[in-house]
Structure 1
Amino acid sequence: MAAVAAIAMAGAAEARDQIRMVGSSTVFPFATTVAETFGKTSNFKTPVIESTGTGGGFKLFCAGVGVEHPDISNASRRIKASEMETCAKNGVTEITEVKIGFDGIVLANAKNAPLFDVNKKVLFLALAKQVPVDGKWVDNPYTKWNQLDPILPAEDIEVLGPPPTSGTRDAFVELVMEPGCEALPECAALKKSDPDAFKKAFGSVREDGRFIEAGENDNLIVQKLEANPHALGIFGFSFLDQNGDKIQGSRVDSVDPSFENIASGKYAVSRPLFFYVKNAHVGTIPGLKEYIAAFTAESAWGPEGYLADKGLIPLPDAERAATAKEVNALTPLKL
């Protein structure tokens, strides 16, 4: 069987001579920058990258081994055990995890709009499908920001955000909606009495037009925020960093979403970023091992590297060195 697979992959190598990647829209600009640099400075073709969202990327990545399946999946959250199981069922048994750095999740609006300073409880109450009112869970009645906090503007709640397939959405739910819910006594009680109902409470986003799913294109959200100063958008810090002339990041718990605050951990709404390599494709799809080496070179992902200029928050020095050693040895991930 292994010999048959090897022959199939050998045939695949003739059919595809460049790396194919899928996955996170947040990791997309970093991967694109490395891919373009790699294409210019190596003897390999520039990799092809598709922005599908983290969940959509894993679906494609885990579908099988061979030329018709991607070599790398970019991710703005860690791969789930269920996704690893899907991979294994389809013959994708050895995967190398590459943790590339950190990114903050920001709530941003147009430069000419009022600067927001919000806490997680306010964000939960603004965006949850159901909220507690007078001891009962009801469909979200709030329509304006100042109903939640008098210091906020008397503007309609309108937030553009990522779809459920996005790792940014997963991380926003985990890092903002869950603790925001827990800050309410009714939520804390629900967590003790009915954990499944608690999970549904913080994980369900309102569907009445106040939260608008804007797809996986973060650039589109930036354009919409420019066109509508009353709206806010949710996306990775790197997009705020690259569009600082057009948009501004809201403060969360009175902390600015700056490079320094994310790196130090002071800005709490941040998460690690990854990409995953299909080890069976290494040595068959040209340049795969070399691409990993290019991404994990200090000139790329280090504190003075070109990815920091794009808004990537580097891993601490010791973790970066250990990670580079492991991934360049193609150490398979074990969850």
Structure 2
Amino acid sequence: MNRILKSRTFKTTVIAAAVVGVAGVAQARDQIRIVGSSTVYPFASYVTEEFGATTEYPTPVIESTGSGGGIRLFCNGVGEGTPDISNASRRIKASELERCAENGVTDVTEVKIGSDGIVFAQSSENEEMDLTLEQLFLAVAAQVPVDGELVDNPYTNWSDIDSSLPDREISIYGPPSTSGTRDAFEELAMEVPSEEMEAYGGEGYTEIRSDGVYIDAGENDNLIVQRLTEDTNAFGIFGYSFLVENPDALGASSIEGVAPEAEAISAGDYPIARSLFFYVKNQHAEDVPPLYDYVDMFISEAMIGEGGYLMDIGLIPLPEAERETTRQKVADRASLQVSDL
């Protein structure tokens, strides 16, 4: 494959796929429609631009809706008014795939593209912090144990949680409830530590505080990055690729003594690591001829392999054997089943 120009300016037009065209009946078209994860968006945007520049087909239309929002649009049905692909920074849920089937979306291929770490970052002007999962949980949870009882979170400064932490106000910009990053954060950074706390009775607790300490910053992770450069006391929660893209402006906290670096995330040593996916509506393949040409470009070694172009913007490659498994699933048009989840 010819080397891809890394300096190409992204020109992708962002249009809501759910409202384009005539709903209900599939019609032949050459432009792929993609929705979903803000974390996967930079990688998918790179591929869409290359696809538009090097093939006879128009650049796919892509919208950053969040993983949950994208899957909801994707599962609305089959036809001209529905997306062909949904990007996701967490795996589709069994309940979501069941809803797909109820709406006639009965043939979906799952494509795993790489790994990612959820970073807890701040302005690089500050000293780096090393947090335990428990300390991070106590900063964001709606209710926390105090003297053996669960109470509304009273912590306003980091030093309130642990005297070894800075006497600095807790302020956190994070993703909304529709975000796959939020889902993964709740599972890995909240459910896991709370299961070990006696006050929660062995049950995972994932309710995030709503007293203004955690600020819902929307689906655009670049806005969180911008806010951290302006509000240097605050922290932000987002995917590793945004840290890679802003090395001078941001510094990430270590979690359990492990920094969010590519090798640690790939090896599973970093505690808040997850996989990235996209989902293909196979029932659209006949009426959208370029669909699998795009998919094949995305999962090529030139894109997602070791030293691939997406690695340059923060994608952490899967092991070689797992990349081959992904390609075989795509070649077979493997249909995801609820029993697989």
TM-score, normalising length: structure 2: 0.90
Q: Is the 8 A contact 1:103 1:262 kept in 2?
A: yes
Q: Percent identity?
A: 54
Root-mean-square deviation over aligned CA pairs: 1.2
Q: What is the aligned length? A: 315
1:170 to 183, 187, 195: 183
Residue identity opposite 2:245 in structure 1: Q
Q: Does 1:333 align with 2:319?
A: no
How far apart, CA to CA, are the structure 2 residues paired with 1:132 and 1:158? 20
Is 1:54–1:167's contact at 8 Å kept on the other side of the alignment?
yes
In the alignment, the residues of structure 2 paired with residue 203 and residue 261 of structure 1 have an alpha-carbon distance, to the nearest angstrom, of 25
d(CA) in 2 for partners of 1:136, 1:265: 34
Aligned residue for 2:309, secondary structure, equals coil
Alignment partners' CA distance in 1, 2:172 and 2:280: 34
Shift of 1:17: 2.5
1:5-34 CA-to-partner distances (Å, cap 9, x unmatched) read xx943xx11xx4300000000000000001
Once the two structures are TM-superposed, the CA of residue 329 in structure 1 deviates from its matched residue by 2.5
**Pick aligned residue for 2:161 from 148, 151, 154:** 148
Cα contact 1:23–1:55 (8 A) shared by 2 = yes
Mapping 1:1-335, distance limit 5 Å: 8-9=25-26, 12-13=27-28, 16-187=29-200, 190-191=201-202, 198-199=203-204, 202-334=205-337, 335=340
Once residues 35 and 253 of structure 1 are traced to their aligned partners in structure 2, the CA distance between those partners, rounded to angstroms, is 37
- Structure 1: stretches of 5+ with no match in the other structure: 1-6, 192-197
Equivalent AA in structure 2 for residue 266 of structure 1: D
Give the whole-Å Cα distance in 1 for the aligned partners of 2:246 and 2:87.
22
Distance 1:90 1:98 in 2: 21
Would the aligned equivalents of 1:161 and 1:212 in 2 still touch at CA under 8 Å? Answer: yes
Partner SS, residue 274 of structure 1: strand
Q: Which amino acid aligns with 2:286?
A: G
Equivalents in 2 of 1:170, 1:207: separation in Å? 16
Structure 1 residue 304, shift from structure 2 partner: 1.3
Q: Deviations over 1:161-180 (max 9, x none)?
A: 00111000010011111122
Per the TM alignment, residue 326 of structure 1 is displaced from its structure 2 partner at its CA by 1.4
**Matched residue of 1:67: which SS?**
coil
Rounded to whole Å, the distance in 2 between the matches of 1:248 and 1:321 is 34
SS at match of 1:115: coil
User: Hey, what's the Cα distance between the residues in 2 that align with 1:131 and 1:125?
Assistant: 6
Name segments (4+ residues, structure 1) moved above 6 Å. Answer: none
Alignment match, 1:4: none
- 1:307 aligned counterpart, secondary structure: helix
2:18 match: none
Amino acid corresponding to residue 134 of structure 2 in structure 1: K
The CA deviation string for residues 103-130 of structure 1, in whole angstroms up to 9 with x for no partner, is 0000000010121110110011111001
Q: Distance in 2 between matches of 1:328 and 1:306?
A: 22
Report the Cα distance in structure 1 between the residues aligned to 2:329 and 2:268, rounded to whole angstroms.
Answer: 25
CA contact 1:283–1:289 (8 Å) conserved in 2: no
